[in-house]
Amino acid sequence: MAAVRPWDAFTAAETDVRAIVTDPRWQGLSVPDRAHAIAARALVTPDGDRWLFGAHARWHLHDPADGYWHLAPPPRGTPVRRAEHAAAVLPARVIPRGPDFAAEPGSTQAFVGPDVPTSLTEQVRVLVRTSGRRSELEFPLTAFDEIFASDVPSTVAAIWGTIMWCAYAPAYDGNEQLITIFGEYLRRPLPGDEWVRWLPAPPLLDLVTLVAERQRTGRSRAALRLAALIADTAQILLSDARFRPRALALLTMVEPALRQPGLDDQASQRDATAVLRAWLDRCPDRLARAVLAETDPEANFRHTVYDLSESLAFASDPAAAAATYLADLSDSRSLLPSRLDHRLRQAYEELALAGLTSTSSSESTQPEGFPVLSGGSAVQVLRERGSEAEAPPDRASAAAVLGAAYATGLAWRRLTGAKVPERGFAGSAALVRRLIHERDDGHT
């Protein structure tokens, strides 16, 4: 007989809210009625914290200091009581619209530890081999020129850009075959070291530029070929949960232009940004969270912090554990604390008082690529807290924390322009110690 999972008040509330939001009648309710339905299901923990399961099918925590509702995973297993909140004061952004509950969460795991499946890699290899034979004169490199040599056709760049944009957190095992496929085309070695490649997440505009430039110059067939390559690559990536949400969103944006050639021609005559807007306009509401990095960097960062905190649920104090990873972010203007819920903010400010924040702005590394354990690296902080015993319980959990932490750093850069170290943030890089000896695992 299968084990029965213990009852949890937060999980029960999620089930209740999902049932009413996914009911077709939800769309017919007025905003005040929707607010009342959500507010009536507020939960309060013994410490007085007030929680709502709301927009994006995620939990929101009320900040008693300023009344702001922060995205925050709940303390599951904690005793709670129902305490209806005043519906009239709920901000619209926490009230589910309906389509936002259809979003697939995907996976926060980095590609260190659980490698990309061989079957996916081989399909991409075939695409790259064929695309590499194209002429750079017909397909000039109008984006990703910092990655690829000048004689590389943009067909190869389109495949690369699709992979990197669709990845939840593009940190790859240094021996990952999906990356080595592109080796002969690279302009210079990828950032990172012999163990991990800490790759940047390109903006969608870079991918759009490859297509829009060919459209603008009247090379419609070349533009269509590049769009088809983007779609083909995204289709392949759907088989891995770490790519799937963004790959699906990308397909919904690109496929209409394949079915209706010339759809974006008018926009391309203005500029690539106009084509980007046309692509984003085609992304349905149910996939909106996948493109938040493009449409709302602020919300995107808050969601990655949620992912990071959720990936650390195994810790006895998840807020303190998450704060040690947030301490790696450069924050010379003190922009970070106000974006954190009060529990996380308190943990972060304790580190700030000890001079253990903004560590990536003065990062130094040992020759083999791991951070020097001086100053305020997240690794040192964790050791000082005596939490070595709270290391991720298994390989999948470690990869999830690694991916979520790196994604948070990339989201912070997108929001503020802060530095992303070429050899990884200290906390993320330290987790490699747990995973690297298990790289190149087999797949069935």
Confidence of residue 361 (pLDDT cuts 50, 70, 90): low
DSSP-assigned letters across all residues of 221-240: HHHHHHHHHHHHHHHHHTTS
Tokens of 427: 């906390």
103 close to 58: Cβ distance less than 8 angstroms: no
What amino acid occupies position 427?
G
Looking at residue 256, its amino acid is: P
Q: Determine the pLDDT at residue 412.
A: 97
Q: Lowest-pLDDT range, 36-40, 63-67, 360-364? A: 360-364
Question: In the predicted model, what is the mean pLDDT of residues 375-384?
Answer: 44
Q: In this predicted model, what pLDDT tens digit does every residue of 199-209 receive, in sequence order?
A: 999 999 999 99
Closest residue by Cα to residue 152 from 177, 185, 175, 192: 185
Residue 82 backbone phi and psi in degrees, to 5 = -75, 135
Buried b (16+ CB within 10 A) or exposed e, 273-312: eebbebbbebbeebbbbbbbbbeebebbbbbbbbbbbbbb
Residue predicted with more confidence, 115 or 361: 115
Whether residue 6 has pLDDT greater than 80: no
pLDDT band at 366 (very low <50, low <70, confident <90, very high): very low
pLDDT in tens, 407-423: 999 999 999 999 899 98
Give the per-residue pLDDT at 194: 78
Averaged pLDDT, 262-279: 96
Per-residue pLDDT band at 364 (split at 50, 70, 90): very low
Give which of 403, 414, 199 is closest to 296, Cα–Cα.
414
- What value does the mean pLDDT of the chain take? 89
CA distance 215 to 271: 10
* pLDDT higher than 60, residue 362: no
Question: Would you state the pLDDT for residue 376?
Answer: 41
The residue ranking higher by pLDDT, 286 or 389, is 286
Is pLDDT above 50 for 443? no
Query: How confident is the model over 335-342, as a mean pLDDT?
Result: 96
- pLDDT of amino acid 359: 73
Q: Which has more pLDDT, 175 or 345?
A: 345
**Cα separations in angstroms, 440 against 44, 173, 247, 399, 402:** 45, 8, 24, 14, 17
CB 373 within 8 A of CB 348: no
Mean pLDDT within 239-266: 96
Arithmetic mean of pLDDT, 371-396: 54
Residue 330: is its pLDDT beyond 50?
yes
Give the tokens for residue 275.
């084509």
Q: Which residue has the higher pLDDT, 60 or 441?
A: 60
Q: What is the DSSP letter of 320?
A: H
Q: What is the pLDDT of residues 79-130, one digit of tens each?
A: 999 887 887 789 999 999 999 999 888 999 999 988 999 999 999 999 999 9
Share of the chain above pLDDT 70, in %: 90
Backbone angle region of 199, left / alpha / beta, with phi > 0 → left and psi within -120 to 50 → alpha = beta
pLDDT at 375 over 90: no
* Res 387: pLDDT: 42
334 phi-psi bin (left φ>0, alpha ψ -120 to 50, beta other)? left
* pLDDT digit string, tens, across residues 150-175: 999 999 999 999 999 999 999 999 88
pLDDT at 302 over 50: yes
Look at residue 65 and tell me whether its pLDDT is greater than 60: yes
Q: 386 falls in which pLDDT band (50, 70, 90)?
A: very low
